[in-house]
């Protein structure tokens, strides 16, 4: 369980930041920190997609498109990434070491072994694939028009729940990213949200509130107000992140996120170190 501390005023942080569009150098990393400083952030947590690394290629293994897609991206050496962030830490820079891991249920045990092999401060868990369909990949968007949207949502949230139940992850990233292209079922999702929130509670995970959706076709913060209402009901801890892929996105629209969550009286956010969670009061 997390420790909870309070203070009169806190600075926010951003733990969902990707370096993948540049080289693994201190100079590139510093650009993200410069934006963070300008936006008054306390620290930055880097969380590369695991599928970027040759050492994690087997965790996307499949008999179809997913494997072929991942093979184009798993070009990097994870040790180079970890060494960069650890070097930044040793130089006193305000950084944390994280990773974003896709939950592929048939590879759950291998994913756990992989995660346990490295010194993370936190692990983001995400769902981007329903079998061979990467539902948020722009080139695969047309598949939405061939699917029953409600059934897609049911499958997504069921898999998200299984991800939480695995207890591999510290933070559940962008929890309703399924809405990324704006496809939404003409159906009340309260029961699905309730079931998912119960699983989150039992699994003791932190939930990401992400500004990234504002930069996507859906144009909305993750999660939706309806989902957030249910998450609040279960008193789930949260963290505010940006899912930045470029320096200019670090901490972007956090002011909008704070305004968005104010009616829900969410009064604490999470930070992590060495996989240990601390909850800090928002004042």
- Report the C-alpha gap between 144 and 132 in whole angstroms: 13
What does 68-137 look like in DSSP terms, one character per residue?
HHHHTT--B-HHHHHHHHHHHHHTT--EEEEEEEE--GGGHHHHHHHHTTS--SEEEEE--EETTEETT-
- What was the pLDDT predicted at 267? 82
| Rounded to 5°, angle at Cα 171 from 70 and 263 | 125
pLDDT single digits (tens) 7-52: 334 589 999 999 999 999 999 999 999 999 999 999 999 999 999 9
Of 174, 195, 145, give the one whose Cα is nearest residue 240.
Answer: 174
Supply 168's token pair.
Answer: 């591999």
Where in the chain are the domains?
13-281
Q: Which residue has the tokens 């968007």?
A: 141
Q: How far is CA 17 from CA 49, 73, 88, 142, 225, in A?
A: 10, 17, 15, 28, 24
pLDDT single digits (tens) 85-131: 999 999 999 999 999 999 999 999 999 999 999 999 999 999 999 99
pLDDT single digits (tens) 205-252: 999 999 999 999 999 999 999 999 999 999 999 999 999 999 999 999
pLDDT single digits (tens) 144-169: 999 999 999 999 999 999 999 999 99
CATH, domain range 13-281: 3.20.20.140
């Amino acid at each position: 369980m997390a420790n909870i501390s309070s203070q009169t005023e806190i600075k926010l942080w951003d733990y969902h930041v990707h370096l993948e569009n540049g080289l693994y150098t201190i100079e590139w990393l510093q650009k993200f920190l410069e934006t963070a400083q300008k936006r008054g952030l306390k620290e930055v947590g880097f969380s590369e997609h695991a599928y970027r690394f040759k050492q994690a290629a087997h965790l996307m293994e499949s008999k179809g498109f997913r494997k072929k897609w991942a093979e184009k991206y798993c070009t990097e050496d994870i040790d180079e990434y970890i060494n960069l962030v650890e070097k930044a830490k040793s130089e006193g820079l305000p950084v944390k070491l994280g990773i974003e891991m896709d939950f592929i249920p048939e590879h759950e045990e291998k994913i756990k072994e992989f995660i346990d092999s490295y010194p993370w401060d936190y692990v983001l868990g995400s769902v981007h694939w329903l079998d061979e369909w990467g539902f948020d990949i722009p080139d695969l968007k047309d598949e939405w028009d061939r699917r029953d949207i409600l059934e897609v949502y049911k499958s997504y949230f069921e898999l998200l729940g299984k991800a939480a139940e695995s207890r591999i992850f510290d933070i559940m990233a962008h929890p309703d990213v399924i809405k990324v292209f704006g496809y939404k079922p003409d159906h009340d999702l309260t029961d699905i949200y309730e079931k998912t929130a119960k699983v989150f509670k039992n699994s003791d995970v932190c939930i990401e509130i992400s500004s990234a959706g504002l930069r996507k076709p859906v144009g909305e913060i993750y999660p939706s107000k309806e989902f957030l209402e249910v998450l609040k009901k279960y008193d789930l801890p949260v963290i505010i992140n940006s899912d930045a892929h470029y320096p200019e996105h670090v901490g972007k629209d956090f002011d909008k996120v704070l305004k968005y969550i104010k009616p829900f009286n969410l009064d604490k956010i999470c930070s992590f170190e060495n996989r240990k969670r601390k909850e800090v009061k928002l004042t």
